[in-house]
Structure 1
Amino acid sequence: MTTALSLEQARFNMIEQQVRPWEVLDARVLELLGSVRREDFVPAAQRALAFADLELPLDHPAVEGRCMLAPRVQARLVQDLGLQPTDKVLEIGTGSGYTAALMASLAQQVLSLEIDAATAERARTNLQRAGLRNVDVRAADATANGFAACRSGAPFDAILLGGSVAEVPADLLELLAPGGRLIAITGGEPVMRATLITRTGPSSFRTEQPWDTVAARLQNFPEPSRFRF
């Protein structure tokens, strides 16, 4: 049986051995990793792996693309968004709700869209159990009809994509407020890049790609054409 002491040791090890060495140094984020109970957001069958440096499947049997990102990736994405207490945030790909929980503790409001209805319901339950009331989880295909499901809360101060995409669609960038930031993992295997895009003017954006990783694909985002000869 897992004891409270061993859980806290595992949490400490996750922060100090996985997350902090990945240049996650924001004291607010590190504090949240210690207080938001990650083990309460993973499926029961995966609880023993809650603090492992792994993507964890959200379904049994596993469904491609439906997983919880590794802790260091979640933490770095949230840190690099630079959330402020007045920010309105859009998340696409709720998953377990853990990343939304981290962001909700830093921002004013989070709208999180999850394409799978059962996954969305589980995330909603996880967030309610954690006492977070400023996250609105909706079951929706965020990409449908030019990101129509995202537009009700626009403009957003921050947008986070909870999985990888080939590239960031222009329709999503139009949902950013002036000075707003979007973070996503872009490209294709074997190497993808964390991509941080900041809206600097009505039609101008600044792009940075500060680190590499690999993550499962978000569903229904456009893929580049593959020519065959």
Structure 2
Amino acid sequence: MKTIYKNAQEAVLHVKDGDTIMVGGFGLCGIPENLILALRDSGVKDLTVISNNCGVDDWGLGLLLHNKQIKKMIGSYVGENKEFERQVLSGELEVELVPQGTLAEKIRAGGAGIPAFYTPAGVGTPVAEGKEIRTFKGKEYVLEEALLADVSFVRAWKADKMGNLIYRKTARNFNPMMAAAGKITVAEVEELMNKGDFDPNEVHTPSIYIQYLLQGNQEKKIERRTVTN
């Protein structure tokens, strides 16, 4: 049985000033909404955040940006956030942009205990500056180091009380690999079930990677709504 928090405020107490955290999600899909809100209210600062993107101006990780709680952002896409742009251009925020596939593999490698790997993505671009380049079978590859976090916050659809997780459709995105790459992982889930309530073959993240659970309702906001007549 995992520790099940009654509220998100208790769950974010694992994060301290200056920590590196991973936050699951892609855009606003599959983000741990309640954990992000509680982290904003906690006032913790000087964070290094690893996430695919940084939310939008008024939701997701964008809330932490407005509070000036993020010192450095490691991600692959930042195009939906004007405050992000402002802080980068003013020198308030340090940013490390990583090709999306490389970011996913850096996180996966961290969770798998692989310290580094070679990839062709980024060779000959600023991404490769200062990094080791090797040639394999006539093709150049850049050495990328794995990523780990002090705390990972992930979002799942279902969990049993042992901590086994099931994600729903595209909300799966970065969550499984981040669950494995955190020294401590807190999973925010929509449905909390008893042991044996779902088939073990359906499990996406085994309980060994999860230390804490939080059940909460999500608003599931849409990042950009496009309609046709």
Shorter-chain TM range is 0.3 to 0.5
TM-score by length of 2: 0.37
Structure ranking higher on relative contact order (CA contacts 8 Å, 6+ apart): 2
What TM-score do the two structures reach when normalised by structure 1?
A: 0.37
